[in-house]
Amino acid sequence: MLPDVIFVGPTKCGTTWIDAYLRTRPEVVLPEKTKETFFFDKVFSRGIEWYRAQFPDRDGIRVEVAPSLFHKPEARAALLQTAPKTKVVIMLRDPWDRAVSHYFHYRKAGEARLPLAEMAQRFPDVVEASLFHKHAQAWEEAFPGQVSYLSYAQLRTDPDGLCAALCEVMGLDYVAPPGSLSQRQVNAAAVPRNALAARMGRRSAEWLRRAGAHQVVNVLRQTRLKKLLFAGGQVEGERQAVRAQVSTLGMIAPDHAQMLDFLAARGEVRP
């Protein structure tokens, strides 16, 4: 079977938390060996039978939390071709804060400290995945009547309320998140002790995933290796400096204004 619901992101909007919550629900069937299969954006050539095999063979609501899909037209086209009846869920977040968090995603992966605009030039998804109106509109056009929205801000301030909204979107009975999830810090920034080792670790994990070795990556993530490669000092001072540069990301402001108008017209939750 194909997914009934897919959370398309974008990244840095609480999807890891959502995946962790859904894995506490026995009636939800998620990929067994990994959070994301990357099927629709990176390994679509493997075919639908490969994708089906990533899910355990049992009854339930089939779901994938796949935040890398949000800003990729080819992923949207692949999902539409394969599973046109799938319900799509988009997580909304302040787009500038999301871009700053994405900046630190690359810093944590071993990239050097750079001006925000330079990091965005090197990694275009820093800005592209914050263009909520542009991409949400494309999802709406591809999946009319099948797109829902949830708020990252609500996850930060009211995880129980976010869970209630999540369950309503999915047609699940409400079950509160475990205490361990309610207390989990969302998107804490850090930089690695060794940037070169972190870059090598990120590229190795990407290669293993593309080779279909998701389980190897998952096993390694449970060891001390992940902490040794990616853990490091907190960066609150750097975060403040980067946040002060968000005005250099000129494409975000007009898109954000359009998104607020769209949400107001729809009566949807604001980021």
Structure confidence by residue, pLDDT tens digits, 193-203: 555 555 555 56
Confirm if 269 and 259 have CB atoms less than 8 A apart: no
User: What is the pLDDT at residue 193?
Assistant: 53
User: What is the pLDDT at residue 109?
Assistant: 85
Q: In this predicted structure, which of 20-34, 44-58, 170-184, 254-268 has the lowest mean pLDDT?
A: 170-184
Question: CA–CA separation, 63 vs 66, rounded Å?
Answer: 9
Q: Which two tokens stand for residue 166?
A: 């999540």
Instruction: Please determine, for residue 219, whether its predicted confidence score (pLDDT) is greater than 90.
Output: no
Confirm if 36 and 3 have CB atoms less than 8 A apart: no
Question: CA–CA separation, 194 vs 8, rounded Å?
Answer: 31
Output the pTM of the full model.
0.84
Q: Looking at domain 5-94+130-185+252-266, which of 3.30.70.360, 3.40.50.300, 3.90.850.10, 3.40.50.2300 is its CATH number? A: 3.40.50.300
Least Cα distance to 188 among 94, 246, 105, 99 occurs for: 105
Question: CA–CA separation, 127 vs 131, rounded Å?
Answer: 7
- Alpha helices by DSSP H, listed for 83-213, are 95-108, 116-122, 125-128, 132-142, 152-157, 159-170, 179-182, 195-210
